[in-house]
Copies of this chain bind each other. A is one copy, B any other.
């Protein structure tokens, strides 16, 4: 699926500020407010837009420790097993199965190092996990919040 230029500009506008008014976005892209709304509705139906969310500054909330955990799993561990286990961790922000030596890469936010360590130990203790390897984030340099392609 590919969006046309108009859709792309609408999504771009929403990516910058999801609470902008349809009339405002319409003025930018050259459509009326109803026309913008209809396109947004259609993008949601098609699954291109999956929702609207708030951008939160983790450190402002007191969550100052971020890291990535590589999971090395027992053979015949399915992606579903990993998903099922990780979805229970509120500290897990993202997880993917990956190529390379590790089986999955998990992004974790924690309040502090103690908390991070506790999460790491719980994950390492999951029955299908053989070992883990983790790196801590020193400085978050860049974060584009659309969690997707450039718009």
Cα A110 to Cα B109 in complex, Å, equals 25
Give the number of chain A interface residues (Cβ < 8 Å). 69
Q: A143 contacts which of B3, B141, B147 (Cβ < 8 Å)?
A: B147
What is the chain B residue whose CB lies nearest that of A133?
B100
Given A48-B61, A61-B2: A53 and B146 interface contact (C-beta under 8 Å): yes
Q: How far is the CB of A136 from chain B (nearest CB, A)?
A: 4
Q: A100 contacts which of B93, B135, B139 (Cβ < 8 Å)?
A: B135
Residues of A within 8 A of B (CB): 1-3, 11, 14-19, 46-58, 60-63, 66-68, 79, 82-83, 86-87, 90-100, 102, 104-105, 109-111, 135-151
Inter-chain contacts of A149 with B (CB < 8 A) = 56, 58, 61-63, 91, 109-111
Q: A99 contacts which of B58, B82, B104, B136 (Cβ < 8 Å)?
A: B136
